[in-house]
Amino acid sequence: MQKEKLFIEEILSQAGVTINGTRPEDIRVKDDRFYGRVLSDGSLGLGESYMEGWWECGRLDELFYRILKAHLDEKVKVKFADLSSLFLSFVNKQSKSRSRIVADRHYNLGNDLFHSFLDPYNQYSCAYFDGVDDLNSAQVKKLDLICRKMALKQGDRVLDIGCGWGGFARYAAEYYGCRVTAVNIAREQIDYAREFCRSLPVEIVECDYRDIRGTFNKVVSIGMFEHVGRKNYREFMSVVYRCLDDDGIFLLQTIGNNQSFERGDEWIDKYIFPNGQLPSVAWIGQAVEGLFVMEDWHNLGPHYDRTLMAWNENFQRAWPDLRSRHDEKFKRMWEYYLLSCAGAFRARRIQLWQIVFTKRGAHQPTCR
């Protein structure tokens, strides 16, 4: 164990992190099994040992910012990672038969959980802190930014792929006079969205994106593409192409990776977003080649850091009301998820993209 401890201490020192140090970003080890677990299981062991209470950290976001900025995850490899990545390259983890796994295990955890830390429009995606500091205003800024980029106007027929709790659909119908068809496969979100958008020209449809039919002036997908998977990117884009009018506009908002990785973070895959995969610039480019013109590519990555920090603050405040339905291990899992992701955006390891597309020959939108 002493050799393992010395190795971990040496690696973390390269990121300015000290074991049992006094700064907020330092790791305080409470169970010495932590060292062997991290060396044997990498990211998965780090996250699970935190969930079990084997270590503490005053600022998980700063810890992960330092770890990822120093590329420590590339220096401590998980065994068999290359073999598993090769296997994943042949498997469609996001096929239609498997697409509901993430809905059942994450999005159907309970509306009370998500609404405890989200804004009134229930936006479970990056906000836009443009001249504002509070989450609620920043989410409205994001919704309006998307509407303006798509040049929404009264009477537009809008398709919202992966509509969540119906926040964008409601906003577009209320403030831009659009008729929205919003699709989703998560039952709890669907039930809530139908009530949330009642009396508005919004239809909430339980439907896999592959089964969407109809034609629309505008198409939007906000924070859903992360669940599509590389093997399905071309099919997703072909569905959008089929549904979009020749002079229409398509806006895609997605988290993105700086590199094309088949394999994502093991802990996130197991506990938060099973079968998720972050696209790269190259993969998105391949998926739209011959279909769309890329009109605008806007990186809002730093805004996601602020969004996640605001979500965690809200979650911590709401915890006394949530603890009757979720145990302490769940709380540690959720804060680890939110704060580690904030650190990843802060380190510029992952990005948040809003991309505007049109069909070839279409009028160029203003975008921004």
Q: Is 94 exposed, middle or buried (0-12, 13-18, 19+ CB in 10 A)?
A: buried
CA distance 124 to 187: 16
Residues in the chain, how many?
368
Give the H or E element holding residue 292: strand 292-299
Do 244 and 104 lie in one domain? The reply is yes
> What is the rounded average pLDDT of the residues 324-348?
97
pLDDT > 90 in the chain, percent: 86
Give the single-character DSSP code of 337: H
172 falls within a domain? yes
Give the single-character DSSP code of 364: P
> What is the rounded average pLDDT of the residues 309-313?
98
Catalytic option among 57, 126, 163, 341: 341
**In this structure, what token pair is assigned to residue 322?**
């949530």
Q: Are 61 and 343 in contact (CB under 8 A)?
A: yes
Q: Are 232 and 172 in contact (CB under 8 A)?
A: no
Q: Render pLDDT for 41-86 as a digit per residue (tens, 0 to 9).
A: 999 999 999 999 999 999 999 999 999 999 988 766 543 344 444 4
Give the single-character DSSP code of 19: B
Give the single-character DSSP code of 106: I
- So what's the pLDDT on residue 77? 54
* For residue 99, pLDDT beyond 90: no
Q: Which distant-in-sequence residues (6+ apart) come within 8 Å of 6 by Cβ?
A: none
> What is the rounded average pLDDT of the residues 127-136?
98
List the alpha helices (DSSP H) in 70-217: 72-75, 81-88, 100-102, 111-115, 135-149, 167-176, 187-196
The count of domains in the chain is 2
* For residue 143, pLDDT beyond 50: yes
Do 74 and 123 lie in one domain? The reply is no
Q: Render pLDDT for 179-224 as a digit per residue (tens, 0 to 9).
A: 999 999 999 999 999 999 999 999 999 999 999 999 999 999 999 9
11 falls within a domain? yes
366 falls within a domain? no
277 falls within a domain? yes
112 falls within a domain? yes
pLDDT mean across residues, the chain: 93
57: annotated active-site residue: no
CATH code where residue 116 lies: 3.40.50.150
**In this structure, what token pair is assigned to residue 255?**
């988290």
29 falls within a domain? yes
- So what's the pLDDT on residue 105? 84
**In this structure, what token pair is assigned to residue 122?**
């229930």
Do 26 and 70 lie in one domain? The reply is yes
> What is the rounded average pLDDT of the residues 311-340?
97
- So what's the pLDDT on residue 306? 98
At 1, the pLDDT band (50, 70, 90 cuts) reads: low
CA distance 190 to 108: 10
* For residue 164, pLDDT beyond 50: yes
Print the domain residue range for 21. Answer: 2-79
